[in-house]
Chains A and B, each alone.
Chain A
């Protein structure tokens, strides 16, 4: 990442070779259209290239940062395609904050293989899994999910929270009674700076 921040194309090539398949899979899952997904991937790597100087290693992994950019841009592209759905400038200001959420347990999850990570989501109760997927892959708000699933808003919020907590427990494999994880403390306030 330092190479990319220094304007070295070789650094970008390394990151592309390492993450392009995951980035494309995510972009295609969200957009469901190959042309648009290719656009999103290109746009995301260029975004990473241009903003590498703003990347703070302490706040998360490069992979997490890149995938957050891909997701943001893919959802942005989908919303733009839907006639009559305007993107406010607000979304440009708010979503980047989420890009810097700390990737707090790379060492813990790093020992898991992709199949174990997949299993953590698939073992969730269908209702919890559905709200998380609608939010993450379709970019819907809790209110929109409530409308689509015809579940009360409070139920959607509850399912989302329980689902994330359960997935975390699946990934880490222990429960400390609060959010289920005995991990190094992570301060959301500072992490979002």
Chain B
């Protein structure tokens, strides 16, 4: 679309409100990037926009939201530090978990396969290089702090460290998308999801009510096209922790992931109460 200074002035109000068609938005933006003339109308009208929100009465969100935001930021910070940290001496607490030190990252799995925890642990005991040991050790140091933030309980250290090592490893991969899962039913359940660019996804949820009988927690995804996909399911023991690791999930620019408690794992559409949910953005 050919854009002139006069047309930019004509489109200015729609542009600052993001109310133009996409080709018009692009054309105006491109023109502003290259035009030698000033376009004060953009700033003049655009300055109004932030104040439109002021017409609303402030509303208090649930108190747990603050804790959830800070926990997610802590997890993000831990992942970032893991990426940049130099190898360091391993504290005693971290050395104690040899199983976690043998971890090598996500292994190839078949499409839609849900990997039981025991199988994951088995795969992680394969032969490894010294470099991988050091990297994994650093991850353990990081996840120890992460575990404190999320659970405040290191008594389940072996299981937790293995779980968090998976998440931290995934978070350290280029272009991995992380999202926090917040409670949707008023419970204390919360979690973290890591989606690798390969379509490998890791979901970890804590403070869940244990499943009984055929009950299962089912993980669902909705993409940009609004289509729901079943990611997989997991059961929960008295620990209250749930974990799922699956390959080849459908991805898009933005995804909404939620976990429902269902009567059984064979359900084809979500029917039970939503326990946690979160948006995975680029």
A179 to B12, CA, bound (A): 12
Which one of B17, B18, B180, B182 has the greatest number of beta carbons of chain A within 10 Å?
A: B18
Residue A13 CB within 8 A of the other chain: yes
B contact residues around A41 at 8 Å (CB) = 61, 65, 69
A50 to B233, CA, bound (A): 30
A26 closest partner in B (C-beta)? B53
A22 to B277, CA, bound (A): 22
Q: Closest CB of chain A to B198's CB: distance in Å? A: 19
Residue B35 CB within 8 A of the other chain: yes
One digit per residue, 1 when the CB lies within 8 angstroms of any chain A CB and 0 when it does not, for chain B 142-164 equals 00000000000000000000000
Residue B50 CB within 8 A of the other chain: yes
Residue B6 CB within 8 A of the other chain: no
Q: Closest CB of chain A to B220's CB: distance in Å? A: 14
Q: Closest CB of chain A to B261's CB: distance in Å? A: 16
B contact residues around A29 at 8 Å (CB) = 56
Given contacts A21-B58, A22-B56, contact A164 B13 (CB under 8 A): yes
Given contacts A60-B50, A141-B20, contact A188 B39 (CB under 8 A): yes
B contact residues around A68 at 8 Å (CB) = 49-50
Given contacts A141-B21, A192-B29, contact A80 B56 (CB under 8 A): no
Partner of B281, one of A47, A94, A120: A47
Chain A interface: which size bin?
35 or more
A42 and B278 form a contact (CB under 8 A): yes
Residue B119 CB within 8 A of the other chain: no
Given contacts A80-B256, A188-B32, contact A88 B22 (CB under 8 A): yes
Which one of A39, A63, A89 has the greatest number of beta carbons of chain B within 10 Å?
A: A39
A97 to B76, CA, bound (A): 25
B254 and A76 form a contact (CB under 8 A): yes
Q: Closest CB of chain A to B35's CB: distance in Å? A: 6
B contact residues around A171 at 8 Å (CB) = 48, 51
Residues 1-57 of B at the A interface (beta carbon under 8 Å): 10, 12-22, 25-26, 29, 32-33, 35, 37-57
B277 and A35 form a contact (CB under 8 A): yes
Q: Closest CB of chain B to A105's CB: distance in Å? A: 6
A9 to B72, CA, bound (A): 11
A38 to B258, CA, bound (A): 14
Given contacts A12-B69, A165-B45, contact A21 B19 (CB under 8 A): no
Residues 5-45 of A at the B interface (beta carbon under 8 Å): 7, 9, 12-13, 16-17, 20-22, 24-26, 28-29, 35, 37-43, 45
B178 closest partner in A (C-beta)? A46
Partner of A179, one of B44, B225, B278: B44
B74 closest partner in A (C-beta)? A9
A90 closest partner in B (C-beta)? B22
A contact residues around B225 at 8 Å (CB) = 84, 86
B52 closest partner in A (C-beta)? A136
Residue A98 CB within 8 A of the other chain: yes
A contact residues around B47 at 8 Å (CB) = 101-105, 168, 186
Given contacts A46-B73, A87-B254, A97-B29, contact A140 B19 (CB under 8 A): yes
Q: Closest CB of chain B to A3's CB: distance in Å? A: 12
Given contacts A16-B69, A37-B61, contact A164 B45 (CB under 8 A): yes
A104 and B43 form a contact (CB under 8 A): yes
One digit per residue, 1 when the CB lies within 8 angstroms of any chain B CB and 0 when it does not, for chain A 100-129 equals 011111000100001001101110000000
Q: Closest CB of chain A to B197's CB: distance in Å? A: 15
A79 closest partner in B (C-beta)? B224
Residue B59 CB within 8 A of the other chain: yes
Partner of A9, one of B14, B17, B50, B73: B73
List 16 contacting pairs A-B, 8 Å CB cutoff, sorted by A. A29-B56, A42-B69, A46-B73, A68-B50, A87-B224, A94-B18, A94-B25, A101-B46, A103-B50, A104-B47, A168-B47, A183-B44, A188-B41, A188-B42, A189-B37, A189-B39
- Give A contacts to B, CB under 8 Å: 7, 9, 12-13, 16-17, 20-22, 24-26, 28-29, 35, 37-43, 45-47, 49-50, 60-61, 63-64, 67-68, 70-73, 76-77, 80-95, 97-98, 101-105, 109, 114, 117-118, 120-122, 132, 135-137, 139-143, 145, 157, 160-161, 163-165, 167-168, 171, 179, 181, 183, 185-189, 191-193
